[in-house]
Amino acid sequence: MMQADLSEKHRLFNKAVVMEGSCRQRLEALAHSFLALPTQQMRLAALIHRDINTLSEEARQELIRCYQSALPNQVRSIIQRGIRVGELRPIDACLASFCFISLVEHCVSHHGERVLPTTAQKIAFVLDLFFAGAVDKTQITDDEERS
C-alpha cells in the first residue's frame, strides 16, 4: 500500500521537476501538489516515519528507496538545477531538500493549520522562509543606513 502510494506521488511530483520555470516556481508547484493531496495521503509519510523500524530490513530499505524517489530526490533535483543556473547559492542540495520538505510538512501540523489556514498561505510561508529566510529586511535596511 505504501509503495503504491509513493509511486503515485512520484508521478505527481515529477510534473514539477520536468516543468519549465524557475526553481521557486517549480518548488511552488511541487508544494501545491503535495498540499492538494487528501489529508490521508499527506499523513501517510508520518506512518512511514513511525513504523519504519517495525519492518524487515529488506522491506525497510525498499520503502526508504520509494520514499526518497517520490519526494526528497525530486526536490533535490529542482534545487540542484537552481544551483546550476545560479538561482541558488551552492549549498548541499540533499540537506536543502529535506529542509524544504520539513517546512511543507510542518505547515500541515495542527499548529500550522491554525496559523496558515489556506494552501496559498502555507505555500507563501514556505517559499518565503526557504528563499529569503526569517530576517526582517526592513531591519537590514535600517542597519545599513546607519553604517
| pLDDT tens digit at each of 147 positions of the chain | 788 888 999 999 999 999 999 999 999 999 999 999 988 887 776 777 777 888 889 988 998 899 899 999 999 999 999 999 999 999 999 999 999 999 999 998 899 999 999 999 999 999 999 999 998 877 766 555 555
Separation of alpha carbons 49 and 16, rounded Å = 24
Q: What is the CATH number of the domain that holds 65?
A: 1.10.357.10
Burial tier of 141 (Cβ tally within 10 Å: 0-12, 13-18, 19+): exposed
As given in the structure block, the three cell numbers for residue 62 are 525498499
Counted domains in the chain: 1
**Predicted TM-score (pTM) of this structure:** 0.86
| Structural domain that includes position 22 | 2-146
